[in-house]
A and B are shown apart, each in its own frame.
Chain A
Amino acid sequence: MISKPPSRSALLSTSAASIIVFLAVWELICRAGWIDPIFLPPPSAVFAKAMGMAGEGTLIGNVLASGRRVMIGFLAATAVAIPLGIILGTSTYARAAFDPILSFLRPLPSMSWIPLSLLWFGITETQKYSIVFMGTFAPALVYVIEATRNVDPLLIRAAQNLGANRWQVMKEVILPGSLPQILSGMKVILGLAWTCVISAELVAAREGLGFLIMNGKEFFQTEVVVLGMLLISITVLVTDFVFRVLENRVLRWQR
């Protein structure tokens, strides 16, 4: 059976309808009184809360606080992981030296760093950055090493044959050659960075989306909890979109 491929607008309206139906059912269940709003507030209440907080400025303030922590921790981790990963990916000796440390760091979830980071830095911004850094650095490094191994060895030969030395091969061939895979890895890492910052904020923070959720729970403001979760999703979606736009610009040559 062969059917015509559906148009883009038909698919988009199907998705939109799905959201509307989902919200409507949720709203109706709450209105009908089947669920206590303490456990699940209706979407209208969440929306009203969002409007109220937006008016006070606390909505954007919490988004920005978490966003800043994610960006700083993520950028610091990638700034170290990319050059180090390229060196480790190309030098077997550096790899042998670093591998034991890496295999020790890799299985540690970011949550397990929270007690130490609190001891070292207290409830500070630095502590949040360090959690994001520790949670993303090892996986980022693994992505970069893996990406460098997929660079066509023929291109490395060609570059050496044209007179490139070891350093030039890394900078001019391995880095650009592994960039597509590094960037797609970084997209995953960015999602991971959000997980790290939220867990850090759930444990100890004075602002941020994780703090918002935890604070809402303390005061039985379930609509704040749901709003916080919604904001996390939206922010991650937006950063993912921005990242994809950047990726397309950097990798123009692939098209």
Chain B
Amino acid sequence: MSQADTSSMISVQGISKHYGDFQALQHVDLEIAKGEFVVLLGASGCGKSTLLNLVTGFDRPTGGRIFVNGRQVNKVDPHCGMVFQQYALFPWLTVIDNVAFGLKMKGISKAERHKTATHFIEMVGLKGFEHKYPNALSGGMRQRVSIARVLANDPDVILLDEPFAALDAMTRQVLQDELLQIYEKSKKTIIFITHSIDEALLLSTRMLIMSARPGRVVTDMVNDLPMPRNAEVQLSPRYNELKSQIWDTVQSEVMRSLKATSH
């Protein structure tokens, strides 16, 4: 295959990544269609973040190619908007200027970019906080700003690297629901990294379970829980069926990697 499949938003073709002798990823092939909400699930050290860093162009693969919306990734690509676990907000900019940052880079006028930023700040429920600095916000609010900042930049793909891992359980649940609403409204293609099976089931339309040493995708399964969804879906029988199915796979992978690390 020399060209990217036109129907897919992200095409990962035979990607490997080595750090010296350490093989972080081994020949990963992946097609993600437009509008999918894909959750990458796996224990720490399985190469989830490595894969994401290759898709954004932060890192170079040792072998293979990646296409996003038909373009080969060979530098940091603003078409893949990234939401970081540690928020990565600019502390010297107010909420509105953080959200408008990408638009400023494109040379859009201040009035226009503030108009767009205001729209997305309202979408994530932060109306009234436009002129606060990130230091004055809680973790949950900071992550909302970070999501609004990516949305305002209108990327083809939104990548989230364990975005809610540092938040308390209540805030996490609220943000998960909000992210689902944003997904339904924006119809963006999303790749979301987590090590929580519940989070994966609640959010995804498709789940990729990854395994460590070497990092690769071991299971690719569709999440057929009905949309629109909210936290209540966790009470349905189908949810528990899928959960135990995933748990079997994850458990054996975790046991295997524990054995490999213990001496």
A200-B197 Cα distance, complex, nearest whole Å = 71
* Cβ contact within 8 Å between A253 and B82: no
Question: In the bound complex, what is the Cα–Cα distance between A168 and B80 (angstroms)?
Answer: 19
User: With A253-B135, A254-B135 in contact, is A159–B101 under 8 Å at CB?
Assistant: yes
Asked whether B163 is an interface residue with its Cβ less than 8 Å from the other chain, the reply is: no
A154 and B88 within 8 A (CB): yes
Option from A158, A253, A254 in Cβ contact (under 8 Å) with B88: A158
Which B-chain residue is minimally distant from A160 (CB atoms)? B76
- The reply to whether B105 and A158 form a contact with Cβ atoms under 8 Å apart is no
Residues of B within 8 A of A255 (CB): 135
Would you give the 0/1 interface string for A89-121, flagging 1 where the beta carbon is closer than 8 Å to chain B? Answer: 000000000000000000000000000000000
Report how far A163 CA is from B91 CA in the complex, Å: 18
Do residues B78 and A253 form an inter-chain contact, with CB atoms below 8 A? no
Contact of A177 with B92 at beta-carbon distance under 8 Å, contacts A162-B153, A163-B78 already known:
yes
B92 touches A158 (CB 8 A): no
CB distance from B76 to the nearest CB of A (A): 4
Per-position 1/0 for B93-116, Cβ under 8 A of A: 100000001101110000000000
Contact residues of B between 146 and 171, Cβ < 8 Å to A? 149-150, 153
User: A162 to B135, Cβ gap below 8 A?
Assistant: no
Complex formed: what's the CA distance from A158 to B147 in Å?
A: 12
Q: Mark B159-186, 1 if CB is under 8 A from A, else 0.
A: 0000000000000000000000000000
CA of A252 to CA of B91, assembled, Å: 10
Partner of A155, one of B82, B90, B104, B153: B90
Shortest CB–CB separation between residue B225 and chain A, in angstroms? 31
Nearest-Cβ distance from residue A67 to partner chain B, whole angstroms: 31
Whole-angstrom CA separation of A176 from B78 in the bound complex: 22
Contacts of B133 in A (CB 8 A): 252-253
Q: Is B86 an interface residue (CB 8 A)?
A: yes
**Cα A89 to Cα B67 with chains together (Å):** 33
Q: From residue 42 to 82 of chain B, which have CB atoms closer than 8 A to chain A?
A: 56, 58, 76, 78, 80-82
Asked if A157 CB lies within 8 Å of chain B CBs, one says yes
Bound complex: CA A165 to CA B89 (Å): 18
| Nearest-neighbor residue (CB-CB) of B101 within chain A | A162
* B84 CB within 8 Å of chain A: yes
Q: In the bound complex, do residue A161 and residue B80 qualify as a contact, i.e. CB atoms below 8 Å apart?
A: yes
* A254 contact set on B, CB distance < 8 A: 91, 135
Kindly identify, within residues 120 to 159 of chain B, every residue whose CB is under 8 Å from any CB belonging to chain A.
133, 135, 149-150, 153
Q: In the complex, how many angstroms separate the beta carbon of B203 from the nearest chain A beta carbon?
A: 21
Q: Can you list 24 A-B pairs, Cβ within 8 angstroms, ordered by A?
A: A154-B88, A155-B88, A158-B82, A161-B56, A161-B58, A161-B78, A161-B80, A161-B82, A162-B78, A162-B101, A162-B105, A163-B78, A163-B105, A164-B101, A165-B105, A168-B105, A172-B101, A172-B105, A173-B90, A177-B90, A177-B92, A179-B92, A253-B91, A253-B135
The 5 closest A-B pairs by CB, nearest first: A163-B78, A162-B102, A158-B88, A160-B76, A163-B105
A162-B153, A163-B106 known; 17 new pairs, CB 8 Å cut-off, are A152-B88, A155-B90, A157-B58, A157-B88, A158-B84, A158-B90, A160-B58, A161-B76, A161-B82, A162-B78, A163-B102, A163-B153, A176-B90, A177-B90, A179-B92, A253-B93, A255-B135
Interface residues, chain A, with chain B CB atoms under 8 Å away: 152, 154-155, 157-165, 168, 172-173, 176-177, 179, 252-255
Q: B residues near A, CB below 8 A?
A: 56, 58, 76, 78, 80-82, 84, 86, 88-93, 101-102, 104-106, 133, 135, 149-150, 153
